[in-house]
Amino acid sequence: MTTATSTPVGEVPALGLGREQSQAWVRLALTIATTLRQHRLDRGRAAFSDQHAARRRGAQYAADLDPRVAAMAAADETAFRHAATTDTDATAGFEELTSPEPQFRWTVHTTIGPIPEHAPSGGQGRWGLWAHGRRGDTELSVFVVVPDRDLATALRNEVTHDQHRTLLQLRALGVYGCLRADHARTQLRTTDTQFTENVRHALHTAWPDHPDLATTVLHTDTDSTDPDSSNPDNRSLEDLHRRLRAFDEHGYRPADVLAAVDPDRLDRAHPRADLIAALDTLAPGAQRPSAAPGATGQAVPRRGTDLPAAAQLLHRHLDDGTTAAVTGCRHWPGLARQLHTWHHDDTTTDHLTTELARIPTHRVQTARAPAIYLRSILDRSITFRRRHDTTTEDVAVGDVADAESTVDESTVDEQVPPTPFDIHQLDPTNALDREALLASRGASTAADDDYIDTILTADIGTNTRTTDDPTQPATTRPARFVRKRQSTHTPRQHP
């Protein structure tokens, strides 16, 4: 008699790579990726695709143009100080907070509130922070503009705790934000990718209550959801960019130009066509829009260098080929700004005309960065003429022609203003340090940017105080960033 076994039949083993072979292939892939990344970093290139790098540079350029923390301009400071100290309806929403105990005999009084609408930085929900520190006869006042109330509150709480140290750091952060914005606006010609990001940011900044309309305007012509693509009479996205770039070349920021157009008056079926029609009524050199569909009639402030005017100055003294090489250089806006300064200075205007007539045009055209090369020659010669009387003794033409040897090749790069902070000493759980990390992105090597991105996205908790009551306990910090905190008083809010 045969007895059936109750033991289950095991699965047939499948053939494949063993554990050691799989681990070896993974190690090989990681080694190749690391080697390729280091190879690109050694040559100053981003450790990812060129397309991704271009988009990242564009986003960084837009962030530089509109920094999260920036020092107030004189008009902003006057308007904010008046609104904060006047007992009127303008003080509604303003909050005051004083540091509880003097630290190193420093006492800091802070005021936060919305930027008045009539101020240059007013609107778009922007807030201001006024921090005033005192120690005996020594005083220090810092005024900064931030995008919203939450960030103003978080920075206020940090300043009232650490007082003198953070007060100085807040001032450095505000000044650095202005430096990066000025550099992006006046020293570099934007690439197409950067300008596209600038237009996208400008639309959402100018029309904060119409995000869907801004998205519709930015749809590409090949997008089937774009209502403008079905009508051949409507304008393309390239046409919109071309008009906004013309304004930008004349010193008008795209955000300011778009703010002069009323989005409520645009046709929702074809908003881009109506927007381009409204822009066509505004000559780039005009100070006030004319009455047209979509125009609000508000003045458009000029906030940059008029590049066409500077190009006309070169045309009067240089041949067409040299002028085209200089104005086509990425660093042409920086030279144009300096040309305006020299041309409108009585002590240098004659020297500028004389030196432009002596420029070695062939060397300028064949230079790696023609605008930087021409600027170095002019700066060297004009500085020499200003220091010495050259009516009887002139600079030898050969010396001017040999100025190429004195050009610092490192200036051919974008030369973003270096960050004033040691990024490796900044605490990402501190609101002020976190903003310093964000502001330092793009100012150094790709490895430093990777470190900033890693530390900002790490899951280490946050101690940013965004509630109305700073006496509430903060999120626990990791042991690496633990530091003593003081208690605060509840801020006094104006009725």
Please check the confidence at residue 391 and state whether its pLDDT lies above 70.
no
According to the model, what pLDDT value does residue 18 have? 76
Closest CA to 433 of 161, 185, 56: 161
Other CB atoms within 10 A of residue 19 CB:
7
Please check the confidence at residue 41 and state whether its pLDDT lies above 80.
no
Condensed to tens digits (0 to 9), the pLDDT of residues 322-340 reads 999 999 998 899 899 999 9
As a whole number, mean pLDDT of residues 170-176 equals 94
Percentage of the residues of the chain whose pLDDT score is greater than 90: 20
As a whole number, mean pLDDT of residues 294-298 equals 52
One-letter amino acid at 67 equals: P
According to the model, what pLDDT value does residue 401 have? 44
Model confidence band, residue 270 (pLDDT cutoffs 50, 70, 90): confident
Helix (H) or strand (E) holding 140: strand 138-146
State how far the Cα of 351 lies from the Cα of 299, in Å rounded to an integer: 36
Phi, psi angles (nearest 5°) of residue 357:
-75, -15
Please check the confidence at residue 489 and state whether its pLDDT lies above 60.
no
According to the model, what pLDDT value does residue 405 have? 42
Condensed to tens digits (0 to 9), the pLDDT of residues 224-259 reads 444 444 444 457 888 899 899 989 888 888 888 998
According to the model, what pLDDT value does residue 351 have? 85
Taking the whole predicted model, whether its pTM rises above 0.75 is answered as no
Helix, strand, or coil here: 134? strand
Question: DSSP secondary-structure letter at 490?
Answer: P
Closest CA to 328 of 367, 361, 370, 366: 370
Greater model confidence, 391 or 92? 92
According to the model, what pLDDT value does residue 128 have? 94
Greater model confidence, 45 or 260? 260
According to the model, what pLDDT value does residue 163 have? 73
Helix (H) or strand (E) holding 128: strand 127-135
Condensed to tens digits (0 to 9), the pLDDT of residues 82-133 reads 888 875 655 567 888 888 777 677 888 999 999 988 888 877 788 999 999 8
Please check the confidence at residue 413 and state whether its pLDDT lies above 60.
no
As a whole number, mean pLDDT of residues 164-173 equals 89
Helix, strand, or coil here: 493? strand
According to the model, what pLDDT value does residue 298 have? 61
Alpha-carbon distances of 131 from 157, 260, 447, rounded to whole Å: 11, 33, 34
According to the model, what pLDDT value does residue 224 have? 43
According to the model, what pLDDT value does residue 8 have? 58
